[in-house]
Structure 1
Amino acid sequence: MTGDKTSVFADDWSGEMGQRWLRNVDHFEAMLEPIGTALLDRAAIATGERIVDLGCGGGATSRAIAARVGPQGAALGLDISPDLIVAARARAGADFPALRFFCGDAASAVLPAAPYDRLVSRFGSMFFAEPVAAFRHLRTQLVPGARFDLAVWGPPRDNVWMMAVMGVIRAHVEVPPATPRAPGPFAFEDIDYLRDLLADAGFARVDIDDWRGDQAIGGPGRTPAEAADFALGSMSAARVLSEAGADVMAAARADLERVYAEHHDPEAGVRLGARAWLVTAA
C-alpha cells in the first residue's frame, strides 16, 4: 500500500492497535465468535482446501479454518501485527498441523506457498487505503477464480454496540466526524460502494447476506464494569479520552457503565445490537 492513510493504519495495527487487540484478545474473540461462525458456515469450506485468513488477529478464525480443511489442506493466518502473529502461533501450538502464520501487509505481501484456493476474512479487510489495488494484489496470491468470503461491518447506526461507546465519548470530548469510506471499521458500510470496488478489483460475482444479532461486549458474561473496562481499554476511539486526562476518562467510564447496566443480563452479559455484511466474491 502507498499513501499517507495507508501508513497511518499500517503503523496502528503493527504497533499500538495490534497491542491493544493482543491485550484483550480473549474478549475480542469471544465477542466476535458468532459472526465468525456464521461467516465460516456460509463459506462452506471443504476438506483439503488451502485458505488464507486475512487479518487473523489472535488466530481464532485461522484455527477454525484449519479444523475444517483438515490435515489434507492448509490454512495461512495473515496479519500485519508482529505481536499478534507471535501470539497466534503460540495459541495454536502443535494442535493444527495444517496451520501456519505469516506477518505481512496483505496489500503487497508475497505469501509463502502461494497460490491458495480461497481467502476468508473476519473484519480484516476494511483498513486498506486503496482497497481495489489491495484486492487485486491478493487475487495474484490465489488460484484463478478463487473465492473471497468476508465479514465487514454494516452501517454505524445499526451497530449500537459501537454507537453506545461513541455517544459516551462525544459527551465528554470533541470527536472529529467520520469520513465516509475512509479506512476503518465502517469503510464498507455502503454495499453499493462495496460491490463497485470488488467489481473494479476483478470480481464478476458478488453476493451479500445481511447478518443481524447482538454483540456481547467483551464476550458473554461480562459485568457492566468489565464491559466498560474492555471497551475503553481496547477500542481505538477511546484514545481521545486518554489524551483528555484521568478525570475525563473516569467520568466517561462511569457513564458507559451506566449505559451498559441497562443492557445487562447476569448470564449473557452486556448485549447490544450489531449488523454485518457477509460477502462472497468470485
Structure 2
Amino acid sequence: MEAQLEQIREQQKETWNRFSSGWRKWDDFTMEWLNPMGQEIIRALQLEEDDTVLDVAAGTGEPGLSIAPLVRQGKVVITDLAEGMLDVARDKAAAKGIVNYETVACDVCELPFDDATFDAVSCRFGFMFFPDMLLAAREMRRVLKPGGRIAAAVWSTPDKNVWVTAIMSTINKNLQLPAPPAGAPGMFRCGSPGCLAELFRQAGFRSVTEKEVTGQLKCGSNETYWQFMNEVAAPVVAALSKADNATKETIKGQVFELVDQKYPDKKAALDYGTVIVAGEK
C-alpha cells in the first residue's frame, strides 16, 4: 500500500479507537437507527445456516452479531481497524450469548484470510472511508467462495442526509473549513447513484444490484441530537475543536434553529438516505 494510504489508515485507526467509548455509550441508540440497513444487507446475502460470513469494518459488531444466529452451523468473522470498537462487539456478543463468531483487527485492503474462505461478505458504512476502495472490493472478492455474495451499505447524497448536513453545514458556515481533496475518504464519497455498483463491477462482481433505504434518525430533542453528534461523529468533534466556546454556542444555536425549521414538531427526527449494493462472485 502507498505511504499516503497507509497514513490515512493509521489516522483512521487512531480516530476510531479514540471514539470507541462514545460508540459504546450510544450503541443501543445507534444500532436501532442503523438496523434497517443491516437487515437489507442480510436479506441481500441470502444466507444459509452453515455459511461462514465475513463482516468488514463492523465497528461495534453489526450486522455481524445479527447474522450469527442465522448461521448457527457456521460462523461470523467480525473485523475492524480499531481494537477498541471490537472490544464493544465482544462485550455485546457475551451479553447475548453469541459464540459462533470471532473478531479480527485488520485492514480491509490486506485481509488476513485465504482465497475463497467465506460464503458471504457484509459491510455496513465502511466503503466511504477505505483509503483504496477498489483494492478493498477486490480483497473482499478474493476471500469469497465462487458464487458467494457481498452486500454493502453507504450513505447517499448530502441532500438526503439532514442528520449530518444540518450540523456540518452550520459548522462550515461559521469556521470556513478547508474542503477535503477530491476523492478523499468521507461520508458522501459513494453517495452518487451507481457509484458503488460500478466499483463492484470493476472489482469483478456480477449480478450487481442497488437499492435505496431511507428513514429518520429519531433523537427526540435537539439536545440529544447535539450530544450524540458530539460524541460519535469524528468530523464534528474535529471541526468544533477549532472553535472557541462562544463560537460553539453560536453554532449550537444555529443548528437548533435549522432543525426546528426543517422539523417543526420539535422531535429532531432527521432524514437519512442510504444505498445498499449487492453482488456475486
**Normalised by the shorter chain, which TM-score bucket?**
0.7 to 0.9
Task: Name the residue aligned to 1:18.
Answer: 17
- Residue 224 in structure 1 maps to residue 222 in structure 2: yes
* Superposition map of 1:25-64 within 5 A: 25=24, 26=27, 27-64=29-66
Distance 1:258 1:30 in 2: 26
Task: Name the residue aligned to 1:7.
Answer: 7
Task: Name the residue aligned to 1:212.
Answer: 214
- Residue 93 in structure 1 maps to residue 94 in structure 2: yes
Partner SS, residue 176 of structure 1? coil
Task: Name the residue aligned to 1:202.
Answer: 204
Gaps of 5+ in 2: none
Identity of aligned residues (%): 23
Distance 1:37 1:108 in 2: 27
> What amino acid is aligned across from residue 18 of structure 1 in structure 2?
N
Partner SS, residue 109 of structure 2? coil
- Residue 277 in structure 1 maps to residue 270 in structure 2: no
How many residues align? The count is 274
* Contact kept in structure 1, 2:153 and 2:274, CA below 8 Å: yes
Partner SS, residue 212 of structure 2? strand
Task: Name the residue aligned to 1:164.
Answer: 166
* Contact kept in structure 2, 1:153 and 1:188, CA below 8 Å: yes
Once superposed, what is the RMSD of the aligned Cα atoms? 2.3
Distance 2:100 2:265 in 1: 39
Task: Provide Cα deviations, 1:51-102, integer angstroms capped at 9, x if missing partner.
Answer: 11111111132110101112x0111111000111122112211711211111
Structure with more of its chain in helix, by fraction: 2
CA positional deviation for 1:155: 1.1
TM-score, normalised relative to structure 2 = 0.88
Gaps of 5+ in 1: none
Tell me: CA distance 1:223–1:87, structure 2 relative to 1, closer, same or farther (3 Å). same
> What amino acid is aligned across from residue 78 of structure 1 in structure 2?
T
Task: Name the residue aligned to 1:78.
Answer: 79
> What amino acid is aligned across from residue 123 of structure 1 in structure 2?
F
CA positional deviation for 1:7: 2.2
Partner SS, residue 102 of structure 1? strand
Distance 2:265 2:102 in 1: 38
Aligned with 2:154 (options 152, 155, 165): 152
Distance 2:264 2:46 in 1: 34
